Each structure stands twice: as structure tokens, then as C-alpha cells.
Structure 1
Amino acid sequence: MAKNLTKYIIISLILGIVIGLGMNLFTPDLFGTVDKYVFAPLGDIFLRLIQMMVVPIVFISIVLGTANIGDPKKLGRIGGKTIGFFLLSTAVAISIAMALAFIVKPGEPGLLDKSAEGFESEEAPSVVDTLVNIIPTNPIDAMTSGEMLQIIFFAIFIGFGLTMLAKKTDKIYHLFEQANELVMYLIMIVMYTAPFGAFGLIASAVGGAGMDAIASMAAYFFVVLAALFIHAIITYGSVIKFVAKKSPWWFFKNFSPAMSVAFGTASSGATLPVSMKTAQERLGVRKSVSSFVQPLGATINMDGTAIMQGVATVFIAQVYAVDLSFTQILTVLMIAILASIGTAGVPGVGLIMLAMVLEQVGLPVEAIGLILGVDRLLDMTRTAVNITGDATCALFISETEKDLEEKDPSIRD
């Protein structure tokens, strides 16, 4: 499914650019009518399907991700090291991404100057208010209004309770597992509509802006790629070299089979069996470490997705000529780090998280159309980076916890 979807989205991207640009150049009057009744509705339907899944996938995935951490007393140093590594790595990833985006300015040409005329960004709350408002007074109200930081906090709180109560809450835990299966299935259905959404959104964007659209999408594409490679080589390479005391070249060479599968499937979850086997057999990671770190990483460690969110947010802000305040930048950092826990390892979920980030900093969700066409290609690359980060963490823990005994990796025994 993943390979076919990639092919169809690429075809849709090409068709959208060709048709949109062609109408912009040769039949600009006709474009307005076609955009209103064809391109825009196709894009809007896809965006609505994405937004419909935001709250369920964030809440359910984060509850399970937190519950799967297990009993802190049992996990001890390994649990702390793993979570610490993932959160720090995600913070570094999005910092690299936003810094690169601010330096390169991929959105400077302004793709949607006409659309931006009526857009006014709302003033962001102060840092103190942002931190205090993370705690919801009414979790149900937070869900209905889409207050993602509050939803994330409540989900972590529920997940922690499930962890501490263990077998007493097994039925609730299994209910969340079944809900997660349902949500993942629905996400896959939504992604089947992606080629149509890609076509409509890209044709509308390119047709409305002409050649400038292609130039800025190319700039965005290469900025995200550059940030992904910098993070993989510099950040992960440094951990492998100076903490795990291994050769980065040896690591990437031996882990390349799993990276290839991740690139082809664009799914951390689908790649997990290959990723674990490769880490254990070719990198020498102990099974007990691999069995805990890598499945957890497939749920809560999404550095590649955080990089996309960082670059895309800055890119869209530049397109709309909005200067992000320090508070807004901090909000993006916080959401990306926390939302990495709730970003499921299936194709396309990064777009759902991006919609959440844009809403929280007052940028229009429909601007996702600017990056949707190239996102599928980037999704494949960032998935490879995601699983590489999981394996890096597993190797780091395996090499620094030499006295660890082999134990049953089950976390709810």
C-alpha cells in the first residue's frame, strides 16, 4: 500500500503542478472557476479528514505511549535514559530545523501574497500563561476546542495512572489498545484520499501563484532534507562516536537494511520487526534493550517529524509574512517535543501533527497544501531518520549498561 500510495501522490503532485501552472499561464480566467468547484473542494475534504483525526490520535497514542513506559521502579535507569534521550534528541532536531529555516528563509518569495492580505495572526500568550494553561480545568472542553497542549498533559496523566495501577486497569488499557487499532485503520483510510487532496491543494496553490510556488516548494524541500541529514550525521553520529564508543560509519553501514525498509514503507511501525532484528544481529544490541527501546521509540521518538514541523511552521509563517514571536517559537518547540509522543509510526500522521502546531501558533491550516505535494517524499526520508534515532538510543543504552541482565521485556507482567 505504501509504495502504491507514494507513486499515486507523486503522480498527483506532477499533475497538480502541470495543470495548475498551465491554467495560470494560459487560461487564468478559467482557473478561478475550476479552483472554486474542483481544486479547492478536493483539498478542503482532505484537510477536514486530517483535522477530524487530530484529537483522537493524539489522546489515544499518548495514553498508550506513556502507559507503555511501565513501572518506573522496574525500568529504573533504562527508562529514564530512554525518555531523556528521546526528548533531548527531539529538542535538538527541531532546533536545527527552525534555525536552518530562519537562515535560509525558504518562504521568503511569498506563495500566497493575495491570500495573506486578509490574514492576521493572533497575539500569542505569554510564556507563563502558556505553561500554566497546559493544565486543563476541563479535559472534555479541551478536546472539543482542540487545545492540544492540554490534551497532551491529560493523556500523559491518564497513561501514568494506567502504569501505576498496572493489572487493576488492564481492561481499560486493552480498550485503549483496541481504540488505537481503530484509529490507525482510519488513518490509513484517510491517507488513501491523499493523492486527491495533493492534486487539489497543489493545483490550487501553484495555479494561484505561478512559478514562485515551485521555487519556494523546492527551497522548503531541500531545507527539510538538509536538516534531516545534519541531525542524522551530526547528532546521532556524535552519540555513536563519543557515548557508545562505536564508529558512525560502522553503524550506518550495518543499519542500512532497516533504513531502506523504512524509506520504502514510510512507516516506523511497519519497519519495527526489521529494525529490531537488524539492531540485535548487526549492531550487537542486547535483546532486552532492543525490545524495550525500539518499540517505545516507534511510538514516542519522531525526530524527523519534528524537523518537518519546525521547517514547515517557519516556512508558512514566512509565506504569510508573519514574524513568529519568541513565545510562538517556544510553543512550536514545546508542542513538537510533546507531540512526538503521540505521533504514530504510520505514513502521513506528521501532517496531522503539523495541523495541530499551526493552529496553536495562529497560522492557517490550509497552508499545509503548500507542502503536501513534497511531503510524501520527505515522509520516507524522515521515517528512516526516526528509526535510526531509535537504534542509536538502543545502542547507546546497550553499551553503557553493561551490567544489565537479560529479562523479559514485557512491561505489564
Structure 2
Amino acid sequence: MAVSAKTLTFRLSKDAVGQISSLTAEALKEGDLEVYDVERLHLAVEQVLLKWLAVLGEGTEGTYRSGKRLGRQYINLSVSGPRVNPFGEDSGDCVLNGGNSVQTLLANIGLTPSYHYVNGENQIALMPKRKKINPLIYLIFSIVAGVFAGLLCRELPYEIRHTFSTVIVTPLFDTFIGLLIATALPMMFLSLIWGIYSIGDTATLGNIGKRVIGRYLGRIYFTLIICALVCLPFFEYAASGSAVSGGEFTAIFSMILNIVPSNLISPFVEGNSLQIIFLAVAFGLAMLILNKKIPVIVQFVGQANNIIQLIMEWITSLLPIIIFISILQLMLTDMLSDMSGLVKLFAIILLCVSANLVLMIMSVSIRRKISPILLVKKLLPSFLVALTTASSAATFSTNMECCEKKLGIHHKLVNFGVPLGTAFSRPGHAAIFFCVCLFMADRYGVPITFSWIFAAVLTCGLLALAVPPVPGGGIACYSILFLQLGIPVEALGIAVVLEIVLDFVSTSLNMVAVPVDMVHVAGRLDMVDENVMRG
């Protein structure tokens, strides 16, 4: 159904609230959204209008706009007057009350409206994500089409096949890789800055918020350590210097010192991802501390992040074509003939994911004295939704229900912790990044030293936080990882295909970790109903 463009001027009143709410519901239904998303966004808009009516009073002029921009639906509401944040920032916003920090996190993944105050106008914007075909369908179709086309091309004479590969397929593939690399670094920089800022005011965050965030970040690096322990016996270790000379320690020490850039420009020119991450964290923390003192900069960074995320979404919308070209490229260049080691990679990933899942289950089972089998049954719906959709947003409502109704976690903690986990729980992406990088380093003859492993663990953990919330978003991160870890750029052809397949696995581990970590935090804060959890 086509989305019609509408613009309507209104004055706040109870009748106007009903009229605008109805228009919003109609526009959302035209956008082919899930029924649950339509109801949630419709209710959010109604609550916003009622808040503005209560504070600004009847007769305040406002404007409603809806339509499509570049194929994506939008709905904007604005009312004139003093700043009135409908999500609670101006009235004792607290993380446990689902304040503005939570709304910002949900808005980043298209689950709620986002709020802005610009030129004397209160504005909310909705850019809902429409219902999409299950990515498994286009994944299978693209792979089958690529293999079929590759088999047909291999029957052609060598001269024709070689010309087709060098003149058409390779330039198309190189263009995509170039576009990916050009977009990846600014995406990582802006995504990390905005992610840190989206946490909310440090004073508001308080002890509870810091515990939740610390738990999610700690989970990422705990997962990477487990992966390193599982993977290393399967790969050959190369020492970078003798134990006497302290070559490994020197390499690690130099790497840590080199994280601090000599200026603001060179990290982007040289593509040094660790230095860019350092700058992003520094800028993000500064924005978090200064907050309301720098509204222009905050608005600029937010808009720049939206732009780069939209560009990345355009790139990933081409995934079926990209997968097809990648498979065809691999077959035409005979790169698949030497890829029997992929079985080894998938086996290692299975071991790593299984080990981490078992440790998650056992940690909750032992500490909270709950049957492992019962806990698995409670977590299974979240795991299956994430595994079949590769979408953290699609798993959001399932995790909310799991945490509150099945695990007995207090609803106030759930309202804060689950949205935060949807944005920051990335142990699955970190684990897959590490395993793929280790496999590619081994395949392309990159020395796997202790300092290399240290760099891989550090970079994979940080880049996992920068993965854009779109299917296949991890592809951009591989270009940065390979550049940082000395892996040849031609390995990206294989990584593109692997990322699409493994994205389902990484998302499932990400989302299962959310209720697990929430249980641990709730237990420490005495915010869990043991009877519900064991029931």
C-alpha cells in the first residue's frame, strides 16, 4: 500500500489529540508495519500529545507531517512553545522510570519516537522500520543464484571467463569494498560517540545504570576471553620475540601507547581504528558530561550519525546483489577451491558459542538456584526469534516479556535494562569477529602472536559496540578489523558471505545474554521475584 503525504496544522485540544492519533495510526498501517509496532508507536504519539496539552495548554499551534523520504516512511509532530520533553528529562528523569536516555536508545532502533527542541519548537520524529522479508529467504536465494551463475561461467572458455571476471565482476566487487571502507570509519566514530551519549546524564544514570552497562560491557570481553581459550589450540602460535628480550610485552606496551593519537587528523588518514575508537570514546564522554551545555554539537553529531546510518542502511539493502557478486567472484577466481577450512571455522564458532551459552546458563542456575532445563525453556523463545530473524529489534518484545513475566525481574529495571541491552549487548558479534579474524589470519599467513591476539580481542570488543542495527551491519566492521590486524583486503570477499550467514548466530547470542545479565544485576539489587523465576 502506498504511503500518502499529509501536512496538517492544528491547535492542541482533546479533539485534536484524537484526530492526530488517528492520523498517525492510519499512516503507520499504510507503512506495512507489524501490528504490535503500530499499536506501540500510536500509543506513544498519543501520550506525547497529552503531555504537551497538559503543559502547554489548549490552543497551542502545532503541525503534523507524514509521508516518505527516499522510500522510508516518516511522521513528524511539532508544537511551538517552551521546551517540554514528553519522555521525562525535564521532570526528574530516572533510568528506572524509562526516561529520555531509554527513549533515545529505543529511537535509535526505530522502536519509539525521538524528541528534539529546535528553534522554539518541540518536535518528535518517527521513522519506523517496515516489515521485511525474512533475511533467510534472500540469503538462500542469493547464494543459490551465485553458485548457479558461477557453475555456468566455469563452463565457458577460459578467455571469456577471465574477461568477464576482470572487466565486470571484479570492478563491481572492488567498488562495493571501496564504498564499504569509505563508510566504515566515520560510521564507527559517530556510532560510538552517539552510543555513549545515548546512555544519558551521568548524574541520572546512577549506580544501577552503571551496573547494567558494566555488566553488558564485561560480558563482551568475558566472551572474547572464552573464545580465545577455545580457539588457540586449533591454530599455530608464532612468538614475536624471545621471552628474554620481552618481545611480546614490548609489542603490547607499544600498542597501548599508540592508541593515543598525535593529532585529530592522522587516525582517519591512516585508518588506525584503535586511535579512532579512542577519540570517539573521549568525545562521547565529553558530550555525556557537558550534555545541555552543548546543544548545537549534540544536534550536529546526532544528525551526522543518522545520515551515516542511513547510508549504511542503503548499502546493506543491496546485500542480495552483494552476496551474489561475492559468490560469483569467489567461484570465478577459484578461491572456493581452497576453502575446505571453512568447516574448521564453523566448528570453532559452534564450540565458542556453545561454551558461552553453557557458561551463561550455569552461572544463573548456580547463583539463583534454578534448574538449568527450566532456565533454557524460559530463554528459548528469545534465542529462536533472534536466530531466525537476525534482528535485535524483533527480539525486543520477547526479551521484555521473558525478563518480567518469566524471570520475575522488577518491571522498572526491565524498562531500562532491556532497551540498553538491545543497544549494547554484543557478545555474539565480538565472538564471531574474533573467530573469523583468527581464521583469516591463519589462512593468509598473518603471524598469530600474543600481541596480535591482544589487539584482536581489544578491537573486536570495541567494534562490536559500533555494529549498526541493520541486517549485515557487521560487514562494515570487517573492513576496519582486517585493516587493523594486517589481514589482506581480498579476505573481505569471503567475510561478506560469512557475515550474512553468521549474523543469525551472533544476534542470537547477543539477545540471550540480555536476560542472563539482567538476572545477575537484579539479583544484586534484590529486584527479582525468586518464586516467578523458579515457577
Short-chain TM bin: 0.7 to 0.9
The alpha-carbon distance between structure 1 residues 173 and 280, as it changes in their structure 2 partners (threshold 3 A), is farther
User: Does 2:260 correspond to 1:135?
Assistant: yes
Confirm or deny: 8 A CA contact 1:293 1:393 kept in the other structure. no
> For residues 277 and 174 of structure 1, what CA distance do their matches in structure 2 show?
34
Which position in structure 1 is the counterpart of 2:513?
389
1:57 CA drift (Å): 1.8
Which position in structure 2 is the counterpart of 1:169?
294
Identity %: 25
Deviates more, 1:274-283 or 1:328-337: 274-283
Which position in structure 1 is the counterpart of 2:502?
378
Say which of 427, 449, 458 aligns to 1:334: 458
For structure 1, the 5+ residue unaligned runs are: 107-122, 405-413
Confirm or deny: 8 A CA contact 1:63 1:159 kept in the other structure. yes
How far does the alpha carbon of each residue in 1:179-236 deviate from its partner, in whole angstroms, 9 at most, with x for none?
Answer: 33333322221112222222222222233336634523343234323322221222x1
1:240 CA drift (Å): 1.5
> For residues 299 and 372 of structure 2, what CA distance do their matches in structure 1 show?
40
What is the DSSP-based 3-state SS (H/G/I as helix, E as strand, rest coil) of the residue aligned with 2:447?
Answer: coil
The alpha-carbon distance between structure 1 residues 273 and 55, as it changes in their structure 2 partners (threshold 3 A), is farther
Confirm or deny: 8 A CA contact 2:475 2:495 kept in the other structure. no
Which position in structure 1 is the counterpart of 2:375?
251
1:313 CA drift (Å): 0.8
Amino acid at match of 2:255: T
> For residues 181 and 304 of structure 1, what CA distance do their matches in structure 2 show?
24
Which position in structure 1 is the counterpart of 2:389?
265
> For residues 35 and 83 of structure 1, what CA distance do their matches in structure 2 show?
48
The alpha-carbon distance between structure 1 residues 279 and 183, as it changes in their structure 2 partners (threshold 3 A), is farther
1:270 CA drift (Å): 4.2
> For residues 173 and 27 of structure 1, what CA distance do their matches in structure 2 show?
58
How far does the alpha carbon of each residue in 1:117-137 deviate from its partner, in whole angstroms, 9 at most, with x for none?
Answer: xxxxxx998212211121223
Amino acid at match of 1:40: T
Identify, as 1 or 2, the structure richer in strand.
2
Amino acid at match of 1:358: F
For structure 2, the 5+ residue unaligned runs are: 1-130, 237-247, 529-535
> For residues 38 and 342 of structure 1, what CA distance do their matches in structure 2 show?
33
The alpha-carbon distance between structure 1 residues 59 and 92, as it changes in their structure 2 partners (threshold 3 A), is same
Confirm or deny: 8 A CA contact 1:126 1:327 kept in the other structure. yes
What is the DSSP-based 3-state SS (H/G/I as helix, E as strand, rest coil) of the residue aligned with 2:265?
Answer: helix
Identify, as 1 or 2, the structure richer in helix.
1
User: Does 2:311 correspond to 1:186?
Assistant: yes
1:269 CA drift (Å): 3.5
The alpha-carbon distance between structure 1 residues 320 and 230, as it changes in their structure 2 partners (threshold 3 A), is same
Which position in structure 2 is the counterpart of 1:146?
271
Higher RCO (Cα < 8 Å, 6 or more apart): 1
> For residues 300 and 376 of structure 2, what CA distance do their matches in structure 1 show?
39
Confirm or deny: 8 A CA contact 1:96 1:231 kept in the other structure. yes
> For residues 352 and 389 of structure 2, what CA distance do their matches in structure 1 show?
21
Which position in structure 1 is the counterpart of 2:208?
78
Say which of 310, 313, 324 aligns to 2:437: 313
1:164 CA drift (Å): 1.6
Equivalences for 1:151-162 in 2 at 5 Å?
151-162=276-287
Deviates more, 1:386-395 or 1:278-287: 278-287
Say which of 119, 126, 131 aligns to 2:251: 126
Amino acid at match of 1:148: S
1:105 CA drift (Å): 5.3
Confirm or deny: 8 A CA contact 1:55 1:146 kept in the other structure. yes
RMSD of aligned Cα (Å)? 2.9
Which position in structure 2 is the counterpart of 1:196?
321
Which position in structure 2 is the counterpart of 1:3?
133
The alpha-carbon distance between structure 1 residues 70 and 4, as it changes in their structure 2 partners (threshold 3 A), is closer
Tell me the TM-score normalized by structure 2.
0.66
Amino acid at match of 1:50: L
Deviates more, 1:167-176 or 1:186-195: 167-176
Which position in structure 2 is the counterpart of 1:368?
492
User: Does 2:291 correspond to 1:291?
Assistant: no
